[in-house]
Amino acid sequence: MKRGVVPSAIFFMVIALTIAEYNSAFHDSSKQMGSAPNTVSLSTTTNTTEPTTNTPPTTTNTTTPPTTTTPPTTTTTTPPTTTTTTTTPPTTTTTTTPPTTTTTTPPTTTTTTTTPPTTTTTPPTTTTTPPTTTTTTTPPTTTTTTTPPTTTTTTPPTTTTTTPPTTTTTTPPTTTTPIPSPTPATNMTQGKYNVSLDGKLCILVKFAVGIRVNNSEVNDVFIVQPSKTSTSGECGDKTATLNLVFDEGQITLKFLNNDTTKNIYVEYVSYDLIYAFKTGELKEYTGTNRSVELFKATPGHSYSCKSQTLYMGSGVSLDFTQSRMQAFNIKNTDFGEADLCKADQPDYRVPLAVGIILIILIVIVVIAYLLSRKRRTGGYQSL
């Protein structure tokens, strides 16, 4: 700063002195021009005419240069702009997610293995040792009184004892027949069965069936599984038979086309079952039902019932569910119009009784209203 100010001051002083000198010179020249008049010199020449020379006044024009006023140079030193940039570091949020540990606990499988007792019968080993017979024969000693005496010794024979071979008796393994156990309970499954002759259906049924035993010893159901059941049967003009055969037995249905009653129904139902409802108790169950007109339907129609139980005697019954049956007059390999069983038919008795009661109440109310109105008008005379 100091170095810049001193030269500037000297510069301004020089300019000021120069301006002062110009001003003084200008004033001096102005005074001289005002005091000196214009002089005209006339020369007289005899007999000779000379041109008159007019000497114009000498005008001294002093051109004063314009006063240039140079403004003082102001040197402003701008301090350097200090830019302070504060950079805020980005906020980094670190979320550490703990690793998810999935522990899969294997299901505990309890396996109970019952080892049947092993009975090994070892027959007693009889070893017969024959008595050892040792025979020692002592020969008589003969002494002769002859000198020297001669003595004769006889060596006894060697006896060899032979042990007989030991006989081992092997007991054959005992074979145990497994005791039958009940089949695990399963759900009722609907099966579809048919019987045909020359490609034409004479019986078409669809139902789920179970053989229920309910007596003092057993209360359980054997369910016929369609996947393990085969069909057989016969087709006739007026009768047709359906046999459902499975490993434990069979069920037979015989249909009859009755021209007199104009109905088709099951003439009889029979069953045969060999099954162990209890472990180790394999029993045979048989029965026949010859009820009148079972599963009845009109020709060309099918019998339909959601649930029906047919008693077979001796505490045994057949449970039919989701039943649909038709024999004869089967068209397009499908069931005809359904004839509902009594349990599935709509019951109009309750709605009918309610309607009759409502009508009676309405009649009573109307009669009561008319009687009360007649009593009110009876006490007045008409004008």
What is the pTM for the complete model shown? 0.47
> What are the 10-residue block averages of pLDDT along the chain, 383 residues in total?
62 77 57 41 35 38 37 39 40 40 40 40 39 39 40 46 50 48 66 93 96 92 95 94 96 94 94 90 92 90 94 94 94 92 85 92 94 74 55
Residue with tokens 């009845």: 296
Q: 3-state SS string over 267-308?
A: EEEEEEEEEEEECCEEEEEEEEECCCCEEEECCCCEEEEEEE
Q: Does domain 193-340 have CATH number 1.20.140.10?
A: no
- Which pLDDT score is estimated for 64? 36
How is the chain split into domains, by residue range? 193-340
- Which pLDDT score is estimated for 381? 55
The amino acid at 111 = T
The amino acid at 75 = T
- Which pLDDT score is estimated for 188? 84
Bridge-partner residues for 241, per DSSP?
234, 254
- Which pLDDT score is estimated for 6? 62
Rounded distance between C-alpha atoms, residue 56 and residue 71, angstroms? 43
> Please, is 299 exposed, middle or buried when counting C-beta atoms within 10 Å of its C-beta (0-12, 13-18, 19+)?
middle
CB 194 within 8 A of CB 327: no
Rounded distance between C-alpha atoms, residue 29 and residue 200, angstroms? 159
186 CB-near residues (< 8 Å, 6+ apart): 223, 225
